[in-house]
Amino acid sequence: MQLILEKTFDDYMTSGESTVAELLASDSPLVRELRESYRYFAQTLWTDAPDINPVSSVLAINAHMHLMAAIRIAMTGHAGAIFPTLRTALEYACYAFLITDDPALAAVWTNRHKSREALKASRNKFTGAVTATSKKLNEGQPGSADWIAEAYDTAIDFGAHPNPRGVFTHISWGEETSSHVAMNVTGLYSADQFETTRSLMACLDFSLAIAVVLTNCRKEFSEAIQIELTAMHDRRESVISELIRIGAIVVRGYPHENQQEGDRSNGE
């Protein structure tokens, strides 16, 4: 195997930054809605100082910080790198929810590193946290939270774990000789390419999932918060419709497909 990198370290960094700047200056419906989602976390969800378990609150903050990190990565065009961070962000939110639901779990989590037994106990309680959270949220309205676990599983398929979709999605094949086959691996996509659009859509999907989970970490929430959360869902649907209208995606659902699936940039 011979590796040929077309760009320098500085090229990689500056290319990503230029894509961020282009997207921020654009009128992209995805960027507009990601700003609105940020507003929900920053100006609605926590600003009235709700009663929340202290450990849950720390986990909730980390969920939002990891979500923002994933959005930042997506906006650089590094589509293949977002799913591990999105997965972790949702796990933080679900840990927060489970501790809210059963406060005794706070000690199980905080004691995780005290002994082998404590580590085992923590793993036993929190392995499958997303599935457990989805089931708990379904108790009020069966099936209503299945999509949270489904998004998590799909994220794993697309790169949160080293799975084929997360790798081969970003590979194209070049010329073949008697001894070598050229394989092009794209690291960075431009602002207008489908993989950037899909990664930002994934961030929007996870933003809504995390918002739903964290809202349910409050012991109570007002009708106004419920209205805002519903509005986030409705705006997401509007964004999908607009992206379909302009041809950026062609089907509903997650992950969002495109008619030009093989489109590639000159990446890393």
Tell me which amino acid residue 101 is.
D
Nearest to 107 by CA among 125, 128, 127: 125
Output b/e per residue, 61-81; b: 16+ Cβ within 10 A.
ebbbebbbebbebbbbbbbbb
Is 13 a domain residue? no
Is 51 a domain residue? yes
Question: CB–CB of 197/258 below 8 Å?
Answer: yes
Q: What is the pLDDT of residue 266?
A: 34
Is 15 a domain residue? no
Output b/e per residue, 113-137; b: 16+ Cβ within 10 A.
eeeeebeebbeebbeebbebbbebb
Is 171 a domain residue? yes
The segments of the chain whose pLDDT lies below 50 read: 252, 259-268
The 10s digit of each residue's pLDDT in 81-134 is 999 999 999 999 999 999 999 999 999 999 999 999 999 999 999 999 999 999
Q: What is the pLDDT of residue 256?
A: 60
User: What is the CB neighbour count within 10 angstroms for residue 241?
Assistant: 12
Is 113 a domain residue? yes
Q: Which tokens go with 119?
A: 């580590």
Nearest to 56 by CA among 13, 96, 12, 110: 96
Is 2 a domain residue? no
Cis peptide before 255 (omega within 30 of 0): yes
Nearest to 214 by CA among 228, 198, 234: 228
Q: What is the pLDDT of residue 136?
A: 95
Look up residue 268 and give its DSSP letter: -
**Domain that includes residue 215, residue range:** 28-245
Tell me which amino acid residue 44 is.
T
Is 96 a domain residue? yes
Q: How many domains does the chain have?
A: 1
Is residue 220 exposed (0-12), middle (13-18) or buried (19+ Cβ within 10 Å)? exposed
Reading phi first (left if > 0) and then psi (alpha if -120 to 50, else beta), residue 128 is in left
Q: What is the pLDDT of residue 264?
A: 36
Is 34 a domain residue? yes
* CA separation, residue 149 to residues 128, 208, 209, 213 (Å): 10, 13, 9, 11
Dihedral, CA of residue 214, residue 141, residue 33 and residue 91, to nearest 10 = 40
